[in-house]
Structure formats: C-alpha cells, structure tokens
Structure 1
Amino acid sequence: MTSSLSFLDNGGHMGALMRAHDWDRTPLGNPRTWPQSLRSSLSACLNSPVLGAVLWGPELYMFYNDAYAESLADRHPAALGQPVASVWGSAWHQVAPDFHRAMATGLGFSHNYVELLIERHGQRERTFWNFSGTPIVGEDGTVAGLLNQGQEITEQVRKERETHHLQANLVRAVDERTRDRNRLWELSADIMLRCAFNGLINTVNPAWQDVLGLDERELVGTNLIDHIHPDDVARTADAARLLAQGGTLRRFDNRYRHRNGSYRWISWSIRPDAESIYAVGRDVTAEKEQAEALRAAEDALRQAQKMEAVGQLTGGLAHDFNNLLAGIQGSLDLIAQRVSQGRYGDIQRYVEVGSGAAKRAAALTHRLLAFSRQQTLDPKPTDVNRLVRGLEELVQRTVGPAVQVEAHGADDLWTALVDPSQLENSLLNLCINARDAMPGGGRIRITTANHWLTGEAAETDDLPAGAYLSLSVQDTGTGIAPELIARVFEPFFTTKPVGEGTGLGLSMVYGFARQSGGHVRIYSEAGAGTTVCLYLPRHEGPAEDGDAATGPAAVTQPIRNATVLVVDDEPGVRLLIVDVLAGMGYTVLQAADSAAGLAVLASDAQVDLLVSDIGLPGGMNGRQMAELGLRSRPQLRVLFLTGYDETAVLGNGKLADGMAVMTKPFDIDALAARVAELLAAVGTPPQH
C-alpha cells in the first residue's frame, strides 16, 4: 500500500476538498491508509464528467465529484464522508433496496425516469433521474462499495410532459373539431358534397334526403351532371372547368331533380382544392319563386301605370283635339253655309277661326312629339348666351311688367349642339311657367354655365360622362309640393285650373332635352321657388353665325319650267300639295305609293324635285324610294314630309346636300318657299 495521495490529483474542486479534509476524525481514517480498490474507484469518479459518487463500506459513506456536488445544492460540502442515508433522507429510502441488494449480491443495476422528492434549498422538489449502481470489489474479493453514477433529467421530463400535454391537447382539439364537423355534416339542413372536377360524387351528407329525396347510396359514384336540370348542364360544366383551372365562384345557382320529378333551385358555396370540389348548397327555390312573383307583380304594376298614363294621354288628347276640331269643323260648316247663301262677307272670319284652330292642333302634336322625343330637330352649333340675349326682350314682354327678368351668361360658355328654335321654344315655356307660379309678381333669373358630368352624376341622369352646358330658369314663386315633383314631366299633368294649361309645357321641354342628348333637372321647395335646369351636350367648335340670312324666306320666286313629283298616300294632302305647286306654275306629277313613285323616277320623265311623305305603302318608305331614285338621277332634289319621326329620314346623321325635311302640318307659304329654294339649286350637283 502506498502512502501517496496522487489518486486525489486532478479531481477538480472535490479533489482539493478531499485532500484538505480532516479524515482522521472520521471512521474512514487517513487517506494514506485507504485500500487500493477505494483509491482506484475514487480516482475514476473524480475525473469523470458524469455525475457520480463512491459509496463505501457497509455504511455507504459518500465520496462524490464536482458534477454530483451541484445536485446536492445546499447539502454540499457537509455531505462529504457522511452515510448516504443521512444525506438523502426520505429519497434514500425509496432507492435503498436496490443499493443494498447490489452490495449483497455483487450485481449492478440501472434505472431510468425515476421520480424522487428531494429537499434542496429548504424546499421539497420533485425531480427525475437516470442512475446506476456498480459494485466495487475489495482486496478480499468481497463487495466493498458501489459506484453510483446518474443524470438528473428533471428539466427534460418537464419539457417532454409539456410537449406531451400539448400533443394531447392538439389531438383532443382535432378530435373535438372532427366531432363538431361530423355533427355539422350530419345535422346541417344544407346539402354538402365532395366531388371530382369531372362531376363524380365522392361523398354527400344526409341533408340530400330531406332536400331532394335522395340518399347516399343513390348519389355516391354517380355523376352530378345526371341530377341537374338539362338547361343548366352547360353552364355547370363551364363552372367546373373554371374551378379546375384555379378560378373561384362565390355563388353558383342551378337546379337539381327531386325524387318526385320536380326541380329545386340550389345556391352553392364552392371551395376547390387540387383534387376535389367541396360545396355546400342551400335550397333557394322559395326565394326564387318569391322573386319571380315579385317581378311579375312589378311588371303588372308597370303595365297598369303605363295603361293609366296612356289613358291620361288619350283622354287629354281627346279633350284638346275635340275642342280644336270643333272650331275647324264649325268654321268649315259656316263657310259652306254662307257660300250656299251667297253671303261672302263673313267667310274670311271663319277662315281665320279654322286656321287658328288648325295651327293650335299642329302645336299640340309638336309638343307630343317633343315629349316622345320624335319631333324633327335641326341641331346646330349654338351660342346659348347669344340666344338668351336675343330672346330676353320677348320674354320680358311675355311675362309682363310685374316680373323682373335677369339673364346672366357664363363668360367662357361652351358651344351647344342643339336646335336653336326648339331651345327658344323651351326657354319661353319655362319662363311662362315661372310667371304663372308668381301671380303677385317676382323675379325670373336665367343663367348659363359649363358642367362636367362624371361618375354617379352622369349615371343618375342616364347620360354619358362628359362636357355639358346648363341653361337654368329660376323663379321666386310658390314652388312645387314634394309629392308633385315626380309628375311634373308627365304629359297633360298640370296644377293650373281647367282651361288655363294643357300640361304639355314641361313634358315638351323634357322630351326636347332628352332627344338632344341632354337632360332636365327640377329643384323646388313649396313656398321657396323653383329652378329648372337643362343640360345640353357640348359642341367642340364655334357656333354658327345666327345673324346670317338663311332659310326658305330668302327665296320667294318660283322656278318656272320645273317638274315636281309628289308622292303621298293621303289623297287630301296630295291634292293640296299638287294644287299649290301647280298654282305656282310647276309641272306636277303624282303617285300614291312608293312603288308608283319609283316607277316615275325610273322612267324618262323629267323630275327636278321629289316631294315625298316618309311613311308610304308599296314596300319601301320615302327615304328608301328617294335613295333608289338618286342612283339614276344624281341631280334630283328631295323634300321629305313627315308627321312624326325624323329618324326614318335622318337615320343617325344629317340629311345630305340637296335634301330637306318639313314637319306636317305645314304652312302653304312655307312649303312654297322651301320648294323654290330647292329648285333654285337644280343646276348644281348635290353632294349625296
């Protein structure tokens, strides 16, 4: 036995502590007397990085390394050289049998995940260990002690248990969600399915039985297309292709056949993935039927309102035209009576009465055409400021001295594309209405301005977005009640007493504005006056010179030796036109329909001017007949007569050179002047 203490060298902190320890006062005695088996075991333990202790002798006195010291916490260094039972207390009693068995049998042991309650820092801690016991054989061949090595795995176990608790929670959550979805799948009143992009049904929920009378056995393995209404198959297939290409559908409605043969409307919410289509459908048949019933009711209401408007329109027409026809018929009867009696003195008076009634009838039809947007317009680039200035004096005389008229035009006002005479008529109508709304006098303010209508403002007025100019007439009168505002543009609607207005003034203004590509707005408040504002389309370019002498009045002398072809299916009108033109010295040919008129134009007869109605029997209208005639007679001049719609004459553009149009009924002198004007240019080839 050597007396050296070298076995304690390189033992770290515990080696130094052992070398300094007063072992003589312990049952173990001086280290120089310790057996070699203890020295060797202790040297191996002190130099091991693994937590370890040598438990020596029957009392299992403790020798431990630096790693073991950390696990002892506040029990170190007092534990050095003490029996293990006194160091570990109750925790030792839990593991002691294994250690004693190893001492008795010489068989080592190893345990993992052992839970021990250890007192450290004055507190009982739950700890977990992996540890082993290896017997140390002494010089006499018996077991003299044990090498105890171990690893505290408390933190590892805590993390594992937290992780396990978190998988456990996740599994529980997944299970709960799965159960919830299964319950929703089972209990949902909406039908659910998963199908392939080719329509093959993979799975359905029980709601199919309630909604369509079909169960899972009848559906799974069949194709969805086989259950769809034939009229919906094509667009359903298109929708499936869209989904297969990565597209989306927020809502898709189609019809499915019920077991009883009827069809139900299903509204689908659809979500595809890479392989399948997932869809939830709700039966919306009742909603569809209600919507259809509502549409039918709305259509019926609109039809009823339309018939009410037609009744009001025809009633107003009958009333006004009966009054006018009474004047015309009475005048003609009295003229015939006076002629038969040889009394000619009163004839002129009756002629004037009848003529006046006829002109009022013509004005009435013009207002109706304006309301229906079918009047014949002659739009020109117009300086609206100049038009207002030219009309201001007339307006002032018309409204009387009790009403003050003010006109304020924008300095940079754009040019409007509008029929100036019809605009004058509309302005005069608005000023007369304003005057009638101020029985005690007041002020009329006429203003012009430029406007850009965009977005919602243009959509509200059903107009293309763009540049417009406005012409407004504002009064200080009684205003219009809110419940009447929506009706003021209706034909024959008037708040004036019977006999004081036809109710066509504002409807004519509305129709003129809409036909001109614009709109009318009205702003009014009872007791606070009314403003009516016309919006007219802007013309890119200068206005025409309004002072130039133009029009049929400039030509007053008929052109002799000219031949005129008159085509009109109304014998009375044709007779009047023929007599007027013949009385002016023209050679006049006539035809009652377009076929007869075209035959004359195709003959060798001289024809310098064609005067034709637009609406003709014979297979073509007046415009078509004239165009065919112009192929063989390129210098032919044409005067169209129309009683209703200029679109049959103008189409989408203006008349070509050498053509003109007049609206029935017309003044005889105006007809003569227009004919003379057209014939005066016969020598110059027109530009058709």
Structure 2
Amino acid sequence: MLSFLVDGGQMGAAIRARDWTETVLGAPAEWPTPLKTLVSVVLGSNQPMFVAWGVEQTLFYNDAYATILADKHPEALGQPFMEVWAEIEADLTPIVEQAYAGLPVHMDDITLMMQRRGYVEETHFAFSYTPVRGEAGAVEGLFCACTEITDQVLAERRRAADTQRQRRLFEQAPGFITILHGPEHVFEFTNASYRRLFGNRDSIGKTVRKAFPELADQGFYELLDSVYHTGERFVADHIPLVLDVEGGDQVERILDFIYEPIIDDAGNVTGIFVEGYDATDAHRAQAELRESEERNRRIVEGVKDHSIFTVDTENRVMDWTPGAETVFGWCADEISGHSVDILYTPEDRAAGVPTQELAAAREKGCANDERWHVRRDGSRFFANGSVRPLHDAQGTITGFIKIARDETDRRAAEATLRETEQRYRLAAKATNDAIWDWDLASNSVEWNEAVRVLFGYEENEIKPTGDWWIGNIHPDDRERVDKDIHAIIDGAGDHWASEYRFRRGDGSFADVFDRGHVFRGEDGSAVRMIGAMLDLTERKRAEKALRELNETLEARVLERTADLMTAQDALRQAQKMEAVGQLTGGLAHDFNNLLTGISGSLEMMQIRIAQGRTADVERYVGAAQGAAKRAASLTHRLLAFSRRQTLAPKPTNVNHLVSGMEDLIRRTVGPVIEVETVNAAGLWPSLIDPSQLENAILNLCINARDAMPHGGTITIETCNRWMDQRTAKERGLDPGQYISLCVSDKGTGMPPEVIARAFDPFFTTKPIGEGTGLGLSMIYGFAKQSGGSVAIYSEVDQGTMVCVYLPRHQGEAELDDVEADIEAAPRAEAGETVLVVDDEPTVRMLVAEVLTDLGYTAIEAADGTAGLKVINSDLRIDLLITDVGLPGGLNGRQVADAARVARPGLKVLFITGYAENAVLSHGHLDAGMHVLTKPFPMDVLATRIRTLIEG
C-alpha cells in the first residue's frame, strides 16, 4: 500500500478503492510528489480540506469536507472542481484563476448560494486558497483549508436583528423601559416614556446612584442590589417614589414596575431589565372612584321608597338595594344571580317583556314603562319604572340599572275616583306632587299642600278657583292651555296632559308638566278634572344648556380644527421656505463666485485685446474655462441630488473603475493619507454612469481625508450583496442582488443629528469656503436615480463608512470609451449635412461653428416645428442634433421619433442640460441615438458627430 494513502477514514478508503488508471492522473504511484504530499496532509487532518489538481482541477478531499459537500458526496471525488460547484462557478472562477496564477487568496467570510441538499441555501465560509507548484516550478493546482461559518453568521445576524428590533419596540412601548448593566447598575438604554417620566435626565453611561441621588433613602438602591445578587425578580405594585424637579421642588409618583435580572448563557446575572408604568393618575382616579362609589352606595341604600337594582346583560341580578328589598320583599342573598323574570307577571314573561326592556334601553339609552310586577309573596303591584345601560371605561355595556316606583296606590286611587267620582284625597296624601281637584260646575278648586310648597305661595295667596289657576299660566301659553281644556271638556278625551309655564309666588315662572283625568256624568258631560303638576324648571334648564352645547360643539370643533390646520400649513410653509432658502442661498453663493470669475476674465480679455497685450489673453481664457467647468460641475451635482441629471449608463466593472482611479485618489488626498482597496473577487457588473460613480468615489475620499487632518487610512471596498426583504427595506431598496462600494475612514465621525442632514444640499460642517455641501447630496441623487441607495454608518471619534448600493447587471461589463481630440476628428465627406435644433441661439451658433470647421453643412432650427419642416423636405440630412427641452409643444424626443418615421435609420444626438428621464426612456435609447450633456467640450462634440455618422 502507498504510504501517503494510509488511513484517512472513509475518504482514504474511497481513494484507495478507485481505479485511477482510467484518469489523466494515472496510477497513484505515478502521481507527482507535491500531489502525494498534499493528499496525505488532507487525509490526515480533521479540518475540512481539499486539493484541486491539474488543468482539469481534479478534486480530492477528506471526511470533514465531505460533510460540506452533503448530497454531492461521494460522486464529487475525482471530478473537476468547477463542475462539482457549478451553481457558484461565477463566484469561484476569479478566486481559482487568481490561485492558479500564483497568488494566494484568503477570505474570512464569503457568501455563497450553494445547492447541495436539493435546494439553494445561503452559506458562509472562511478559507485560504494556496497555489501549489509542481516539480517544474509552475502552478499545478491549489490547496484549500476551509471552515463553514454559516451558523455563526446567521446566528449573529439574528442576534443583531433581535437586539435592534427589541430596542425599536422598547422605544415605542407605552410603559417606561430601561436596561441597567453590571453591579453598579449603569444605564445602558432608556425609552421615550422613561425619559419623559423622569425629566429627560442625561443618564446613559451613569450609575443609578449618580443619575438619581434623591433615591438614597427610598429603598430603590437596595432593591436593585438584591435583584442583581440573588437573580430573583422583584414586582412592585403602587410603590411611591419622590423625584427632584427643576426649581428645587419635589414630585411624588406612584409606580408599578418589574426588576427582571438579565442572565447570560453561563447563568450569571449581567444586568437588570426594568419595565413599568406611571400609576399616579390611575391611583388617584381609583381613590376618587372608590369615594364616589361609596357616596353613591350610601345615597342608593338610603332610598327606601324606590326599587333600585342592577342586572347583567343576561338579565341576572347583580346588585340589590334595601329599597328593592322593601318594594319586592326579596333579600339580596335570595335573589342575587337569579333572573329577574320572577319579578314580572306570567303574561309579561310569556311576551318576553324583560328581554325587550333591555333591548330598548341598549338601543335608545333608556326604556320607560308602567306595568304590574310580582312581589316575593306572590302579590302584585303597579310600578312606574325605567331601565338604563351601564358602561365600562371603554364605553361597552356591562349591565343595566332598573328603577321601579310602587304606584299601586295612585293607580288604585285613580280607578276609584273614575268609578266613584270622589275627590282625589288619597292620592294627595300619598304623593309629593302638586295635586288639584277642579269642580267644573262651581269652578272651585282644591289644592294640596305641595302646590304651595312647590311654587312658593303663602296660604292666603292661593285662590280656590279655576280662574286663578288659568290666570297664573304664562300669557303666551294661556290661550293654548285654555283651548286644550275646553276640548277635553267638550269630549275630545278623558285624559289631560300638557306642558306650560306657571307663575310662582315671587312672580317668576316655573316650567310644569300637568296631567289629569276628566270625570263625566251619566249624560257624558264633564263634571270634574283631577290632576297633578310636576315642576320641570331645572330639567328644562339642563336640557336647554345641553342643546346649546350640542349646537355649538360642531362649530367649536370646526373652528379649532381650522386653527390647527392653519398652524400646520404655516409650519410646513416655513419649513419649505427654509429649505428653499438654504438651497437658493448656497446656489447663489457658488454661482456668484463662478460668474465673477467668468465675467471678470472676459472683461480682462477685452481690455488686453484693446491694449494689444494678447500674450495675457490665454491666461484669462483658461480662468474663464475653469470657472465654467466648475459651474457645470455644480449644476450636475444639483441635478444629481434632484435625480434629474441625464445619465449615460452602461455595464461597468466597478473593480476596474476603482483600480483605474487609485493614482488620482492618492494624488488628491495627499501623502499623509494611505489608500487601501479591497476588491471583491468575482464582483458583479452594474448598469451605471461610470463618470458619475467616479465623481462620487472622489467626493467620498475627499470627505474621508478631511475627517482625518492628522493622517490615516482610507479603505475602498467592493462586495456582492444579496438583499432579502428585511435588509432591502432597511436600506430603501427592492429585494435582489446588488454590489456595494464602501469608503471608510477612522476620522472624527458624525453625530446622529449630522447624519440625519448629511444628504441635504449645501449642508456642510466645514468652514465657509471649504465645501459646497453638495457632495453627499449628489451621491445620494446619483445612487437613487441608478436604482440603488446610500447609507452612512458613523460614530463620533470612531470613524465613518459610506456605502453606495447599486443593482447587479445581468451581462458583461463594457470597455471604457476614449474620446478623441478635436484636432484628430475626421473631416466631413462631401455633402454631409447636419440639422441642429435648439432654442438657445448661442448654442446653435457654437454647434454650427464646429460643424462648419469640420466641413459639414449645418442647418439651424429654433424649435421642433421648424425642425420638422426641414426633415419633411427633400434636403439631405445625415444627422439630427436636437435639444430635449424645446418650446412650441414638441420636445426633442418627439422631434426625433417623428424624424425616424420620415427618415428611418436617421442618426440622432440629444444635447441637453436637463431632461426628465422618462423623455429619454431612462437612458435606454434606440439604436443610433446618443445623449451628450450640456455643457460639453467642443472636441467631444466633434468626435461624437463623426462616430454617429459612421455608425
């Protein structure tokens, strides 16, 4: 047996059992010495390892790596490495190629979407690819020692997500929450409710004893110490606490809370979780409620002549007062919990009256009725009663209160008086109502004592006549009442009921309700009227006040709402004007500087030309051009921020772009700053405007340099990213595949309030004159317009990392375009004609000048309508150059589309300083159409013209 294949577990046995003579490697005895050595190392290790050997990358691995292969094992042995991992070939190819090129590769964490158990799963590995050279010195294969860290990465991600989610939930919790760390109880977290309750103290990082010294003698320190040392929770119910407030005063709070020990995996207490509620108001309300309930109970129990009791929603007795016991004869112990049906007559029970009363009270808020009820001894009595619903704090009906007044005697007296035409003396003695008895034949009236008491008359002031009664009715009501009385007397009915105003003894008027019965003789004529008056003054006054309140409630609500909306509109307008002022102020400041440079240079050119000193003209030309280019850069940044810049996206290899910028970045940031690039292997391409991304990277590196005035390291790192639903939502993206480009430093960092405004235009923390404040806003607008996003991760004095996320492009990256110099631009061929459509005369003049210099025939048009006339003519046109924004109802895209109908295949060059992406199809133009952004160098224009005409 070959010594290098001794042992090795299952994989050693599998290698020994296989017939290798049929493979390109031949018999194991003939294998190269480096391969034998590596196979021996792999089989003798407990760590997952493999070897890929030769041009075909034949795979050898050990038992530990077989676990990683899962369902791919054992067929993977001896197979080409890339075929085994075909689903992640795009990720592995650049790494393997680098190893085979002789460069080792090490990664602490790589994300791979593997299919090894019948489904695609996210995996993470730490590994090292080491090139292995053969006996001739050339790289013959690679050796890899790896560790799968998927469980650790996902667990850490879950822990981080759980912690963040818990903190967000805690912040929104209605009760107060704080987290204390260590035996000294250091504040680690407090939510908004805690900060409001305890006066917004600066407690984070402080101990409880330092943050709240006034608790020294209140027992809270000792409770916390006990919970921490014993590990047992403490639950507090209505515990008083005295806090110091501003001005030297103190305030008492009543708290409900829990001290919950925080225990680590080893069972040790590391801190205390505190959650609770401010029960001060509830405590006071409960005390007031208990006092009110006790007061009402005493009042209700003191009423002996009314039956008052409560029932639940199923009409079962809950509370039974002494008055109910007096009226019905049942004591509380006998009837509590029973249905009230036993209090109703069999006829009413059969008709479902008890249930109907509850339904009416539920619908209308109150149900009033007169009916017979049954006492405990089986006797009946007639009652005038009402049913009202009871509500809990949320407005839900929890039961009903029933009130019944025994009116058996009154009913019996009325029946007796109707039958015998006797005076209503019994009723007058049995009630407190004002009773009157009017003999119509003699016009004499007898009143009971209640009339004098109710209306405040002396005994000799009440006249015993009906005329006195009618005469004391309010003049405005007298005619109506007199008419009603005579209608009753004349046979309109036997019952009298009316409301009117009756004069008191002091001359004022009381609102009364008057009801009575007419007694008739054998011939049917009215001989007597007996009735009772009730004073409704206070009830009428209350009803009027309630009615007026309801009538004005809506108006007052509308007025308050209108005031609130006006204030909100004013606030929004002020905020909007503040933002507009900041934007326009910063824009005016920078443009005034640039315009001064341009106009000043032009004026000096005029002066020097007039003086004949042309040698200085070149210097002023350079200054004007430099200021104009900076102005163009400023407008591009503004358009980028507003997501209105015209992009020229193409599939781009961001790694190549970053590598090509390294020298420029190093020269820009200076010698005290070290630049480090970490380019991800197998980075996906992205469909972006490469020049805009270059500007973004340069801006981020300049910001990082400025954050490290004493030197440091700038790290530029690229990576492939899979964004799931949660991660994408956090970054304002759609789920899917993205690349990330992150620029980080170890500088001064940014506090949260600066991060919140970092993307605002012209917002900068740099001194005046050292920054426009457009850099980050431009990067944000560019990323959003490209379908991506930007995120800032920063801590004060720790550094900052800004990450740009861009969507993956499914395709190959394109090579960079190289613009030719205007002097090298080919001349026009004979007869070649270009139509220029632009509403700006200066632009038309400059473009026409360039065309003429190159030998083209230039035709100018000031708007789309004039341009279409030329297009529809017989003139030769080889190229259409048109602005996008044109007056007259036709934009440049519409002109181009119409020209393509009249002249199929016509080449089009859009020149634009600002254009909605929708007009230019979001950068996806038809073949033969190109975009050039204003302002543009004339040499670039000349090259584009020639390139388009030649196809």
Same fold (TM over 0.5): yes
The answer for the alignment partner of 2:748 in structure 1 is 478
Deviations 1:213-232 (A, max 9, x none): xxxxxxxxxxxxxxxxxxxx
Given the two structures, how large is their TM-score scaled by the length of structure 1?
Answer: 0.58
- The change in CA–CA distance for 1:355 and 1:169 in structure 2 (over 3 A counts) is closer
Deviation at 1:381? Answer: 2.1
Is the Cα–Cα contact under 8 Å of residues 821 and 939 in structure 2 kept in the other structure?
A: no
Pick from 586, 598, 605 the counterpart of residue 868 of structure 2.
Answer: 598
The answer for the alignment partner of 2:590 in structure 1 is 320
Residue correspondence of structure 1 range 221-232 to structure 2 within 5 A:
none
Pick from 694, 712, 723 the counterpart of residue 453 of structure 1.
Answer: 723
CA distance in structure 2 between the aligned counterparts of 1:188 and 1:665, rounded to whole angstroms: 79
- The change in CA–CA distance for 1:492 and 1:557 in structure 2 (over 3 A counts) is same
User: Is 1:557 aligned with 2:826?
Assistant: yes
Deviation at 1:583? Answer: 1.6
Deviations 1:262-285 (A, max 9, x none): 999xxxxxxxxxxxxxxxxxx999
Deviation at 1:301? Answer: 2.9
CA distance in structure 2 between the aligned counterparts of 1:602 and 1:540, rounded to whole angstroms: 41
CA distance in structure 1 between the aligned counterparts of 2:549 and 2:932, rounded to whole angstroms: 64
Deviation at 1:382? Answer: 2.0
Q: Secondary structure in 1 aligned to 2:757?
A: coil
The one-letter code matched in structure 1 to 2:766 is K
- The change in CA–CA distance for 1:353 and 1:178 in structure 2 (over 3 A counts) is same
The answer for the alignment partner of 2:759 in structure 1 is 489
The answer for the alignment partner of 1:308 in structure 2 is 578
Is the Cα–Cα contact under 8 Å of residues 409 and 448 in structure 1 kept in the other structure?
A: yes
Q: Secondary structure in 2 aligned to 1:530?
A: strand
The one-letter code matched in structure 2 to 1:558 is R
Is the Cα–Cα contact under 8 Å of residues 648 and 931 in structure 2 kept in the other structure?
A: no
Pick from 784, 787, 793 the counterpart of residue 523 of structure 1.
Answer: 793
CA distance in structure 1 between the aligned counterparts of 2:706 and 2:937, rounded to whole angstroms: 30
Deviations 1:90-133 (A, max 9, x none): xxxxxxxxxxxxxxxxxxxxxxxxxxxxxxxxxxxxxxxxxxxx
CA distance in structure 1 between the aligned counterparts of 2:739 and 2:763, rounded to whole angstroms: 28
Deviation at 1:260? Answer: 9.7
Q: Secondary structure in 2 aligned to 1:675?
A: helix
The answer for the alignment partner of 2:803 in structure 1 is 533
CA distance in structure 1 between the aligned counterparts of 2:687 and 2:598, rounded to whole angstroms: 38
User: Is 1:576 aligned with 2:846?
Assistant: yes
User: Is 1:442 aligned with 2:712?
Assistant: yes
Deviations 1:26-53 (A, max 9, x none): xxxxxxxxxxxxxxxxxxxxxxxxxxxx
Given the two structures, how large is their TM-score scaled by the length of structure 2?
Answer: 0.42
Larger Rg: 1
User: Is 1:389 aligned with 2:659?
Assistant: yes
Deviation at 1:468? Answer: 1.8
The answer for the alignment partner of 1:108 in structure 2 is none
Deviation at 1:331? Answer: 1.2
User: Is 1:427 aligned with 2:697?
Assistant: yes
Q: Secondary structure in 2 aligned to 1:647?
A: coil
CA distance in structure 2 between the aligned counterparts of 1:327 and 1:174, rounded to whole angstroms: 103
The answer for the alignment partner of 2:265 in structure 1 is none
User: Is 1:624 aligned with 2:894?
Assistant: yes
- The change in CA–CA distance for 1:680 and 1:166 in structure 2 (over 3 A counts) is farther
The answer for the alignment partner of 2:779 in structure 1 is 509
Pick from 324, 333, 339 the counterpart of residue 171 of structure 1.
Answer: 339
- The change in CA–CA distance for 1:329 and 1:263 in structure 2 (over 3 A counts) is farther
- The change in CA–CA distance for 1:334 and 1:668 in structure 2 (over 3 A counts) is same
Deviation at 1:340? Answer: 2.1
The one-letter code matched in structure 2 to 1:346 is D
Matched residue count: 434
Q: Secondary structure in 2 aligned to 1:539?
A: coil
The answer for the alignment partner of 2:904 in structure 1 is 634
User: Is 1:332 aligned with 2:602?
Assistant: yes
Is the Cα–Cα contact under 8 Å of residues 552 and 677 in structure 1 kept in the other structure?
A: no
Deviation at 1:429? Answer: 0.7
Pick from 856, 865, 880 the counterpart of residue 586 of structure 1.
Answer: 856
Q: Secondary structure in 1 aligned to 2:615?
A: coil
Deviations 1:580-618 (A, max 9, x none): 211211111111111111100000111111111111112
Percent of residue pairs bearing the same amino acid type = 55
Residue correspondence of structure 1 range 75-86 to structure 2 within 5 A:
none
Deviation at 1:306? Answer: 2.0
Q: Which moved more, 1:457-466 or 1:632-641?
A: 457-466
Deviation at 1:303? Answer: 3.0
CA distance in structure 2 between the aligned counterparts of 1:436 and 1:173, rounded to whole angstroms: 88
The answer for the alignment partner of 1:85 in structure 2 is none
Q: Which moved more, 1:609-618 or 1:377-386?
A: 377-386
Deviation at 1:533? Answer: 0.8
The one-letter code matched in structure 2 to 1:660 is H
Deviation at 1:357? Answer: 0.9
The answer for the alignment partner of 2:649 in structure 1 is 379
User: Is 1:678 aligned with 2:948?
Assistant: yes
Pick from 418, 421, 424 the counterpart of residue 688 of structure 2.
Answer: 418
- The change in CA–CA distance for 1:179 and 1:289 in structure 2 (over 3 A counts) is farther
CA distance in structure 2 between the aligned counterparts of 1:393 and 1:514, rounded to whole angstroms: 28
Pick from 875, 881, 885 the counterpart of residue 615 of structure 1.
Answer: 885
CA distance in structure 2 between the aligned counterparts of 1:166 and 1:543, rounded to whole angstroms: 92
Is the Cα–Cα contact under 8 Å of residues 640 and 661 in structure 1 kept in the other structure?
A: yes
Is the Cα–Cα contact under 8 Å of residues 448 and 470 in structure 1 kept in the other structure?
A: yes
Deviation at 1:652? Answer: 4.0
Q: Which moved more, 1:632-641 or 1:554-563?
A: 554-563
The one-letter code matched in structure 1 to 2:650 is K
Pick from 915, 923, 926 the counterpart of residue 645 of structure 1.
Answer: 915
Deviations 1:351-395 (A, max 9, x none): 111111111111111111111111111222222222222222321
- The change in CA–CA distance for 1:545 and 1:641 in structure 2 (over 3 A counts) is closer
Deviation at 1:293? Answer: 6.4
The answer for the alignment partner of 2:30 in structure 1 is none
- The change in CA–CA distance for 1:464 and 1:302 in structure 2 (over 3 A counts) is farther
Deviation at 1:543? Answer: 2.4
Q: Secondary structure in 1 aligned to 2:769?
A: coil
The answer for the alignment partner of 2:508 in structure 1 is none
CA distance in structure 2 between the aligned counterparts of 1:379 and 1:431, rounded to whole angstroms: 23
Deviation at 1:497? Answer: 1.2
Is the Cα–Cα contact under 8 Å of residues 885 and 915 in structure 2 kept in the other structure?
A: no
The one-letter code matched in structure 2 to 1:557 is P
CA distance in structure 2 between the aligned counterparts of 1:174 and 1:358, rounded to whole angstroms: 100
CA distance in structure 2 between the aligned counterparts of 1:594 and 1:263, rounded to whole angstroms: 63
Is the Cα–Cα contact under 8 Å of residues 647 and 923 in structure 2 kept in the other structure?
A: no
The one-letter code matched in structure 1 to 2:622 is E
- The change in CA–CA distance for 1:582 and 1:439 in structure 2 (over 3 A counts) is same
Is the Cα–Cα contact under 8 Å of residues 559 and 679 in structure 1 kept in the other structure?
A: no
The answer for the alignment partner of 1:368 in structure 2 is 638
CA distance in structure 2 between the aligned counterparts of 1:616 and 1:182, rounded to whole angstroms: 73
Pick from 668, 671, 684 the counterpart of residue 401 of structure 1.
Answer: 671
The one-letter code matched in structure 2 to 1:434 is A
Pick from 922, 925, 947 the counterpart of residue 655 of structure 1.
Answer: 925
The answer for the alignment partner of 1:44 in structure 2 is none
Deviations 1:601-652 (A, max 9, x none): 0001111111111111122011101111111211321111101125154224
Residue correspondence of structure 1 range 265-304 to structure 2 within 5 A:
297-304=567-574
Deviation at 1:679? Answer: 1.6
Is the Cα–Cα contact under 8 Å of residues 614 and 648 in structure 1 kept in the other structure?
A: no
